Amino acid sequence: MAYKINKDVCITCGQCEAICPQSAVAFKDGGYEIDPAKCVDCATCAENCPVEAISKDE
C-alpha cells in the first residue's frame, strides 16, 4: 500500500514533493502524484499537507 493524493482537495503547494524522503512525489498531468513503487508509507507527506489531501490508499 502507498499513500495517495486527492487531486480534488490538493492546492498544489508543493510541500509533499519537497518533504518526501523517497522523491516519490512528482507533478504531472496538472497535479501532484505519488509513485507507489517509490513510496515507503512513512506518512510524512500526509502529516504535513495543509489541506489533508493525502491519505493511505487502502
Contacts with ligand SF4, residue ranges (CB under 6 A): 3, 5, 10-16, 20, 22, 24-25, 32, 34, 39-45, 49-51, 53-54
Are 32 and 25 in contact, with CB atoms under 8 Å apart? Answer: yes
Please report how close the Cβ of residue 29 comes to ligand SF4 at its closest, in angstroms: 14
Please report how close the Cβ of residue 9 comes to ligand SF4 at its closest, in angstroms: 7
User: What residues contact residue 32 under an 8 Å CB cut-off, 6+ apart?
Assistant: 5, 7, 10, 12, 14, 16, 17, 25, 26
- Which of 20/58 has CB closer to ligand SF4? 20
